[in-house]
Chain A
């Protein structure tokens, strides 16, 4: 069984988690439909390092996980507040 460490709940079976896709910057309201379509529908799917949203389903807790897609190793998990200011709900800082 693969284990992921939830920043809130500790080590848990990977079955308790759901991936929410890569962390990326949200376009602004003035940006084009193309930019929004790219944001909503398209992902880079790179080989190697990725930074993603994950959710621990029993506690509905969303956090950030860094993975290597080549080795499928989970490199690091941490609260989203480490990446985003508490009052800031949009935007990315990759």
Chain B
């Protein structure tokens, strides 16, 4: 769903990017340092004006995985109906990436959710707080080393009785 000339143009400007395709979807792997310049180029020169989603995948114990986390940016161009997926791989302990909020303000809550669920910090984010979980929560529950049951999170919260209320 991306025109060949767009992809060629992007790869001419950034020859170090790897790209792959699956079921008609083009993915480009972007190193962390290049993210802001790739965003800028995609938005201003190739018309990718809509940031569909920002999410993350934890590859702990995934088959043939070489990195721990993979950030996913789904971009769309409304004028030409193109779509492009950007991937950025991260490894512990350095889990900081530049924030996309200066380029697409809509990334604000999406990045907050990634921080909440995976513990990836976005440098330059205006308001990086937890969004779905309570402020007092300490873990990042969508990581693969967080079990589905049995962490006893409910017991960590104080019980309020009617008398105290």
Question: Are these two chains actual partners, yes or no?
Answer: no
Interface residue ranges, A against B (CB under 8 Å) = none
Interface residue ranges, B against A (CB under 8 Å) = none
